[in-house]
Amino acid sequence: MVFRLGSVRRTSRENEPGPAGPGQDAPAAADEGPVLADIDRMFVQAFALVGEGIAGATHALLASDREAAKELVQRDEMVDRLTHDIAVLAQRRLILGQGSVEERRELVAVLRMLPDLERNGDLAEHIARRAARGLGVEMSARSRGLVERMGEVATQLWRSTAEVFADRSSEGDVLVDDLDDEMDDLHVTLMAEIAAGTMPTPVAIELAMVGRFYERFGDHAVSLARRMAALVGGGPEPGTVASD
């Protein structure tokens, strides 16, 4: 995936001003190219980490791989740091009034997307925490199959959302919506399995939370895809996803 800020962006540092002399302030626009490149790079990195997190958490849960789950929990801190750094850079650039109107519009869009991105990192971490506690071995066979499929759909959702970004698509959110509908159906089916009483109550409670995490993951992916579609197509901004 390549996430590009602005239709034209300087990628070389050859035109950057040199260091300011003694007693001089660096020019305000000296970091224009590097700042946009850094935001681009960090956004892609955070997006990739979240995708790896949801896939890895699902595998760790079903394989009862507690060590892998613990590593995934720790890696979520990287997503938090990246989203924080992106916000700082974007806000600084907007405050200074740097860049073209189009670039500033995209920076505003990035700031609005960050909460969904960060929240999906948190949701992957929440699933990994349940895996670290050994929940997978206590699940019923049917619930394991449903969670496996939910993990696959979540991965497809995230990949499709990434393609919306990469292609600057104004229509790619339709596929994301369809996958989210499947996720919702799987969530309903999983809740029915839990209600059937085939598992101990503590396991059922934890599994209900896991199902909710996957369902909310889909909602945030849809929000991201719709925000990009609105940015490209010029349509209205989607509403904010309710708190998880």
Q: Domain map of the chain by residue range?
A: 32-233
Asked if residues 39 and 90 have their Cβ atoms less than 8 Å apart, the reply is: yes
Share of the chain above pLDDT 70, in %: 80
Quote the CA–CA distance of 195 and 233 in Å, as a whole number. 43
Q: Does the pLDDT at position 14 exceed 50?
A: no
Q: Does the pLDDT at position 5 exceed 60?
A: no
Quote the CA–CA distance of 141 and 21 in Å, as a whole number. 69
pLDDT digits (tens, 9 = 90+) for 193-231: 999 999 999 999 999 999 999 999 999 999 998 888 787
pTM for this one? 0.81
pLDDT digits (tens, 9 = 90+) for 60-79: 999 999 999 999 999 999 99
| Radius of gyration over every alpha carbon of the chain, rounded to an integer in angstroms | 21
Q: Does domain 32-233 correspond to CATH entry 1.20.58.220?
A: yes
Contacts of 54 (CB under 8 A, 6+ apart): 120, 123, 124, 127, 151, 154, 155, 158, 217
Amino acid at 59: H
Asked if residues 169 and 161 have their Cβ atoms less than 8 Å apart, the reply is: no
Q: Does the pLDDT at position 20 exceed 50?
A: no
Q: Would you call 147 exposed, middle or buried from its count of C-beta atoms within 10 A (0-12, 13-18, 19+)? A: buried
Q: What mean pLDDT is reported for the chain?
A: 83
How many C-alpha atoms does 125 have within 13 Å on its Cβ side?
A: 16
Q: Does the pLDDT at position 107 exceed 50?
A: yes
Asked if residues 61 and 135 have their Cβ atoms less than 8 Å apart, the reply is: yes
pLDDT digits (tens, 9 = 90+) for 149-201: 999 999 999 998 888 777 766 666 788 999 999 999 999 999 999 999 999 99
**CA distances for 25 relative to 22, 30, 96, 184, 208, angstroms:** 9, 11, 15, 55, 57
**CA distances for 186 relative to 64, 137, 166, 196, angstroms:** 22, 20, 28, 15
